[in-house]
């Protein structure tokens, strides 16, 4: 008998809200977190993209200065989200040897790494801080969360670019099902709004260049979409073995019914145009969760707003759900908060859990002329989801051909 | 050339910046590890910041001898002389 895994705590810090209640209200309203960057480095390096979606609440408004000093910005966001999720779970007593962490990032401590390189060049090796290595390592966020919670059943860092956050949930589910842990703090964190990643993503033509209108730049499924908008932040979810949650009378948001990870093995960055890897991931997550196409009422799509990315996801959804795809309410929440890279899967999972729990699908903004090749039922004003037993899916795909899907079932 | 009082005040500022400890807690007879709970990584950061502030060099092999705040004040004072 497979152990059932439920979600009992949620946390987030994002461009449309520094905590879950604020983010959720904004997600239902439909706001944009994208703004023009006022930093001097935009002009200094003549960046082709002048905007991004920064976290609405700066980390230093939440963490103490001394605490923040030892953390890369990505870890700061991760710790903030994890603390919120932990408090939300209401767990007060736990066997710390049975508590694990699966906290992902796409890039890791890129600010720390590049700041240290600048320091080395400008001031010499003596001035490179002794905390540089633990701050730049990609497992820094999982390690910091593990330290913060006293989680001793392992601290893991799945890294699969923009699928990382979703892969963390896949790993977390496995850890509980296989009996290695009873509770797992899962999540993803990213802080890469730095001139180098902006230049690099621009150079591969991945970012929108709608510099004169940042709030309307992220427009998944729209004919005029021209790339994604860089976001930052973190999402966190407390996964718990159902019997553990029931024993303490926990509030249960939903069941993490199934997850999957597949690889395209097609191209290092381009998605398989037939969406075959994504299709296999959708089917595998549904099989894992014993889910029929008709059970699915909502999808939080990966939908980054790139010309080449949005369509294969539709192809995959059609292949996995058949004609039932027409009945599914699809939300592309990157339209509001941009693309949080390795954190996006975790934040979107939080939104998907809330959609199932609250029976409301969040809004997709900026959809003015829907691409006729993507005839999905896109949620453009907050919509009520049906009563009864329902399932929602959240997709994430990453450079490298990574596909990850999670399925949330109502309880 | 800073006086010993000025060095102490400067060190207290650096320790506060790194650890959040109140500057008045940084007294001459206090041990960095035992009393102020400063770990080796913070200690190295404090040393490097002190080097910059007081224009001295504190060799790595010397750092382990700086057990108390007073040891550090004396070392910096002598190094400046």
Whole-model pTM over 0.90: yes
d(CA B48, CA A135) in angstroms, rounded, equals 18
Mean pLDDT of A158-166: 98
pLDDT of residue A4: 98
Q: Provide the domain count of chain A.
A: 2
SS3 category, A27: helix
Mean pLDDT of A325-354: 98
> Could you tell me if A9 and A127 lie in one domain?
yes
Whether residue A315 is contained in a domain is answered as yes
Out of A248, A275, A304, pick the residue that ends a domain. A248
Q: Is the pLDDT of residue A1 over 80?
A: no
Domain housing A244? 5-248
CA-based nearest distance A16→chain B, Å = 31
> Could you tell me if A218 and A358 lie in one domain?
no
> Could you tell me if A108 and A216 lie in one domain?
yes
> Could you tell me if A198 and A279 lie in one domain?
no
d(CA A116, CA A98) in angstroms, rounded, equals 36
Q: What is the pLDDT of residues A108-118, one digit of tens each?
A: 999 999 999 99
Q: Provide the domain count of chain B.
A: 1
Q: Which residue has the higher pLDDT, A2 or B74?
A: B74
> Could you tell me if A228 and A299 lie in one domain?
no
Q: Is the pLDDT of residue B8 over 90?
A: yes
Out of A215, A248, A281, pick the residue that ends a domain. A248
Q: B interface mutation test: which of A60, A65, A69, A116 has the most B CBs within 10 A?
A: A69
Sorting pLDDT into bands at 50, 70 and 90, what band is A2?
Answer: confident
> Could you tell me if A210 and A277 lie in one domain?
no
> Could you tell me if A112 and A40 lie in one domain?
yes
> Could you tell me if A288 and A353 lie in one domain?
yes
CATH code for the domain in which residue B60 is found: 1.10.1200.10
Other CB atoms within a 10 A radius of the CB of residue A379 amount to: 26
Q: What is the pLDDT of residues A299-330, one digit of tens each?
A: 999 999 999 999 999 999 999 999 999 999 99
SS3 category, A22: helix
- ipTM, two decimals, is 0.85
Whether residue A253 is contained in a domain is answered as no
Residue of B nearest to A123 (CA): B52
pLDDT of residue B81: 79
pLDDT of residue A214: 98
> Could you tell me if A81 and A218 lie in one domain?
yes
Q: Which residue has the tokens 């073995």?
A: A241
d(CA A243, CA A305) in angstroms, rounded, equals 40
CATH code for the domain in which residue A378 is found: 3.40.47.10
Residues from chain B contacting residue A65 (CB–CB below 8 Å): 20
Considering CB atoms only, which of B40, B45, B52 is closest to A129?
B45
Q: What is the pLDDT of residues A347-362, one digit of tens each?
A: 999 999 999 999 999 9
Contact A66 B41 (CB under 8 A): no
> Could you tell me if A167 and A314 lie in one domain?
no
> Could you tell me if A200 and A292 lie in one domain?
no
Residues from chain A contacting residue B20 (CB–CB below 8 Å): 64-66
Work out the percent of chain A whose per-residue pLDDT is above 70: 100
Q: What is the pLDDT of residues A14-36, one digit of tens each?
A: 999 999 999 999 999 999 999 99
Domain housing B36? 4-80
Would you list which residues of chain B are within 8 Å, Cβ to Cβ, of chain A?
A: 18-20, 40-41, 44-45, 48, 51-52
pLDDT of residue B1: 73
Q: B interface mutation test: which of A65, A125, A127, A130 has the most B CBs within 10 A?
A: A130
Torsion from C-alpha of A87, A92, A94, A100, nearest 10 degrees? 10
Question: What's chain B look like in SS3?
Answer: CCCHHHHHHHHHHHHHHHHCCCHHHCCCCCECCCCCCCCHHHHHHHHHHHHHHHCCCCCHHHHCCCCEHHHHHHHHHHHHC
Other CB atoms within a 10 A radius of the CB of residue A64 amount to: 9
Contact B48 A127 (CB under 8 A): yes
Out of A201, A230, A248, pick the residue that ends a domain. A248
Residues from chain A contacting residue B18 (CB–CB below 8 Å): 66, 69
Mean pLDDT of A82-111: 98
A55 is catalytic: no
Choose among A49, A17, A32, A33: nearest CA to A226: A49
What rounded mean pLDDT belongs to chain A?
97
pLDDT of residue A382: 86
Q: Is the pLDDT of residue B6 over 90?
A: yes
> Could you tell me if A217 and A262 lie in one domain?
no
């Amino acid at each position: 008998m497979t152990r059932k895994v439920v979600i009992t705590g949620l946390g987030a810090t994002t461009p449309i809200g520094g905590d879950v209640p604020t983010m959720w209200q904004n997600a239902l309203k439909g706001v944009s977190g994208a703004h023009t960057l006022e930093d001097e480095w935009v002009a200094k390096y003549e960046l082709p993209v002048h905007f991004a979606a920064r976290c609405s609440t700066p980390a230093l408004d939440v963490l103490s200065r001394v605490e923040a000093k030892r953390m890369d910005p990505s870890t700061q966001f991760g710790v903030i989200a994890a603390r919120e999720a932990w408090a939300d779970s209401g767990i007060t007593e736990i066997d710390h040897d049975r508590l694990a962490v699966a906290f992902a990032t796409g890039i890791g401590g890129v600010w720390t790494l590049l700041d240290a390189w600048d320091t080395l060049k400008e001031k010499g090796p003596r001035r490179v801080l002794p905390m540089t290595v633990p701050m730049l390592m990609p497992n820094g966020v999982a390690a910091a969360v593990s330290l913060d919670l006293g989680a001793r059943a392992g601290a893991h860092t799945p890294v699969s670019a923009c699928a990382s956050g979703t892969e963390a949930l896949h790993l977390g589910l496995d850890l509980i099902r296989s009996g290695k842990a009873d509770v797992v703090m899962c999540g993803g964190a990213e802080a890469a709004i730095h001139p180098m990643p902006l230049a690099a993503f621009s150079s591969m033509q991945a970012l929108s260049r709608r510099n004169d209108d940042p709030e309307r730049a992220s427009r998944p499924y729209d004919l005029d979409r021209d790339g994604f908008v860089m976001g930052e932040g973190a999402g966190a979810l407390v996964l718990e073995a159902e019997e553990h949650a029931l024993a303490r009378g926990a509030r249960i948001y939903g069941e993490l019914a199934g997850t999957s990870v597949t690889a395209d093995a097609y191209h290092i960055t381009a998605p398989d145009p037939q969406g075959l890897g994504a299709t296999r991931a959708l089917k595998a997550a549904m099989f894992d969760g014993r889910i029929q196409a008709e059970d699915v009422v909502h999808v939080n799509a990966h939908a980054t707003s790139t010309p080449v990315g949005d369509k294969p996801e539709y192809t995959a959804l059609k292949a996995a759900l058949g004609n039932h795809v027409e009945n599914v309410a699809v939300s592309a929440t990157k339209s509001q908060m941009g693309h949080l890279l390795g954190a996006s899967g975790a934040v979107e999972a939080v939104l998907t859990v809330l959609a199932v729990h609250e029976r409301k699908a969040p809004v997709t903004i900026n959809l003015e002329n829907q691409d006729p090749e993507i005839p999905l039922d896109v949620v453009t004003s907050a919509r009520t989801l049906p009563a009864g037993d329902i399932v929602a899916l959240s997709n994430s795909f990453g450079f490298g051909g990574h596909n990850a899907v999670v399925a949330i079932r109502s309880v | 050339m800073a006086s010993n009082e000025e060095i102490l005040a400067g060190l207290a500022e650096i320790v506060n910046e790194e650890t959040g400890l109140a500057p008045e807690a940084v007294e001459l007879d206090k041990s960095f590890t035992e009393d102020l709970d400063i770990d080796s990584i913070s200690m190295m950061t404090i040393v490097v910041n002190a080097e910059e502030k007081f224009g001295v060099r504190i060799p790595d092999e010397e750092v382990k001898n700086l057990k108390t705040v007073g040891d550090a004040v004396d070392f910096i004072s002598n190094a400046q002389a």
